[in-house]
């Protein structure tokens, strides 16, 4: 998994590539913990993400809870496979998701 961060003031774009699973979820969680202080607008770009597991969903849920207190979070670029996972798990009702 590859993570690219771009910050512009209180806006943060996090682009995630590859697979977000049990092995890689701690890496994204660490990035969020280190980066979200002072951020009011978080965009997570999943355009190049192939797969997300329950461990990845947990990291997103945690980031969403943090951002609910200090601003907003949107997920962009989710492909059909990711959208199906979000729908089956009910995350479409929890997260602000914009499809691919």
CATH code, 82: 3.30.750.24
**Strand order, beta sheet including 97-99:** 2-8, 11-20, 41-52, 72-78, 97-99
Is the pTM value of this prediction over 0.85? Answer: yes
Q: What total of structural domains would you count in the chain?
A: 1
Within-domain flag for 56: no
Burial tier of 96 (Cβ tally within 10 Å: 0-12, 13-18, 19+): middle
Please indicate, yes or no, if residue 13 is contained in any of the structural domains: yes
Q: Which two tokens stand for residue 7?
A: 């910050």
Structural domain boundaries enclosing 35: 2-17+25-49+62-99
Portion of the chain with pLDDT greater than 90, in percent: 97
- Per the domain annotation, does 7 fall within a domain? yes
- Quick one: pLDDT at residue 100? 57
């Amino acid at each position: 998994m590859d993570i690219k961060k771009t910050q512009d003031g209180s806006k943060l774009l996090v682009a995630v590539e590859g697979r977000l699973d049990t092995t890689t979820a701690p890496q994204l969680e660490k990035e969020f913990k280190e980066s979200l202080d002072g951020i009011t607008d978080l965009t997570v770009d999943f355009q190049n993400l192939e797969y997300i597991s329950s461990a990845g969903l947990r990291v997103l849920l945690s980031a969403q809870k943090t951002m609910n207190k200090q601003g907003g979070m949107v997920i962009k670029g989710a492909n059909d496979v990711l959208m199906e996972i979000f729908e089956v798990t009910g995350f479409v009702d929890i997260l602000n998701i914009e499809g691919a």
